[in-house]
């Protein structure tokens, strides 16, 4: 079994963002990752990270209740990169099949 490609994982990330935004995102860019709601002028990035945790079965070790944090962009993108990394070469089944230790 080969690990998913980055594109396949990004498609799953976009699916999560789309579920939060109630529309498909154009790309994985800041406004989409933050799940900005133009009608209410609110960001729903915490819901995006929670959705990523469910979709990829992991726990992101940071609070999702950060409002005016200068590092929020890095926070969300780190969660996405973690999904991509963990879903590819870090997949335990793939590692075992290729003789790598967990």
Taking only the tens place, the pLDDT of each residue in 4-44 is 777 787 888 888 888 888 888 777 766 667 777 778 887 77
Average of pLDDT values for 31-59? 78
Sequence ranges of the domains in the chain = 6-97
Bridge partners, residue 36, by sequence: 43
List CB contacts of 52: < 8 A, sequence separation 6 or more. 13, 16, 58, 60, 79, 80, 83
pTM summary value: 0.64
Q: What whole-number distance in Å separates Cα of residue 13 and Cα of residue 71?
A: 20
Q: For residue 43, give the H/E element and its range.
A: strand 42-43
List CB contacts of 15: < 8 A, sequence separation 6 or more. 55
């Amino acid at each position: 079994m080969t690990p998913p490609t980055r594109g396949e994982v990004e498609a799953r990330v976009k699916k999560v963002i789309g579920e939060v935004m109630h529309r498909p995102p154009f790309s994985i860019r800041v406004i989409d990752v933050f799940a900005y709601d133009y009608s209410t002028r609110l960001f729903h990035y915490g819901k995006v990270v929670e959705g990523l945790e469910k979709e990829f079965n992991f726990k992101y070790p940071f609070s999702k209740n950060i409002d005016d944090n200068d590092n929020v962009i890095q926070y969300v993108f780190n969660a996405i990169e973690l999904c991509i990394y963990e879903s590819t070469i870090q997949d335990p089944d793939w590692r075992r099949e290729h003789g790598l230790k967990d």
